[in-house]
Amino acid sequence: MSKKLANPETPIHKWTLPGIPEGFSISIKRDDMTGSTLSGNKVRKLEFLLAEALDRGCKHVITCGGIQAETGESSLLIPVGGSDEIGLFGYINVFQEMITQGLLEDFDDIVFACGSGGTAEGLCIANYLTGQKLKVHGIIVSDDKKYFHDHVNSLLVKMNLNVSSPDILNLIEGYKGTGYDFIIKIASMTGIMLDPVYTGKAARGLVHELNNNPHLFKGRRILFLHTGGIFGLYDNRINSTLKLQNEQDNMIQMWESIDDYPS
């Protein structure tokens, strides 16, 4: 009996994201709830990449880093973020999942963090193949527009699709910095945990662009794709912000160790 790595059909629900201008409606696709310790979007791609490894008869998978020497056994080299012509099917599959959840009827735009390009590739290609009923926006959290458009264009060529990346994918720069205050605010007001590397930057970019460049969006019904990455909150850098926040409004309680936790 085969088993899936990810828990699919992650929910879509309304999101009262603070700072959104009047007239816009925001919902969120909870792919931080894919159910794997890998968290979020990575397991979506890995499902297809590991299937490729099994199909090739590989005994190992390798990712992140150059090949220094022969391994001696058949191995599958997974690129950073699983962002290749196999991994992109993870989010082509998610697009189909979202169609069954009312994506094409209920939304005009989809917004997400763009860190390696795999999620962007899958979503913009799926949207293109289904008639481009949505506008796809990637908030860049690393590298730049040229890097990602070149990356997507190379895959479009491999897939024999006669279209250019800028025609099917809107990339938005300017949100690489951290924003722990913003993350804490969102968690306190909406109950949604964002991370400082990916989703926090993307949500902050969404708020800013809706307020300052609303013309970039096709409509007023926005779906934010939460791609996980929650482990970015556990590097201790957020602690000083939490302490300051607690001193200011007494809303957040921190315990330095398990010994401090009330019995």
Angle between helices 180-190 and 239-249 (to 10 degrees): 60
Which stretch of 47-56, 202-211, 221-230, 239-248 has the lowest confidence by average pLDDT?
Answer: 239-248
Query: Is the confidence at residue 209, as pLDDT, over 80?
Result: yes
Q: Is residue 205 part of a domain?
A: yes
| Neighbouring C-beta atoms of residue 234, cutoff 10 Å | 9
User: Of 106, 81, 129, 96, which Cα lies nearest the Cα of 227?
Assistant: 81
Taking the model in full, what pTM does it have? 0.79
Is the C-alpha dihedral spanning 224, 128, 174, 149 positive or negative?
positive
Q: Is residue 2 part of a domain?
A: no
Count how many domains the chain has.
Answer: 1
Helix (H) or strand (E) holding 257: none
pLDDT above 90 covers what percent of the chain? 50
Q: Is residue 17 part of a domain?
A: yes
DSSP conformational letter for 78: E
221 φψ region: left (φ > 0), alpha (ψ -120 to 50), beta (else): beta
Q: Is residue 197 part of a domain?
A: yes
User: With bands split at pLDDT 50, 70 and 90, how would you rate the model's confidence at 248?
Assistant: low
Q: Which pair of structure tokens corresponds to residue 52?
A: 């490729």
Q: Is residue 183 part of a domain?
A: yes
**Tokens 């209920």 map to which residue?**
106
Q: What is the pLDDT of residues 39-96, one digit of tens each?
A: 688 778 777 888 888 888 988 887 764 344 447 577 766 666 666 777 788 889 999 9
- CATH value at residue 146: 3.40.50.1100
Q: What is the pLDDT of residues 105-127, one digit of tens each?
A: 999 999 999 988 889 999 999 99
Full residue range of the structural domain in which residue 212 is found: 12-55+80-249
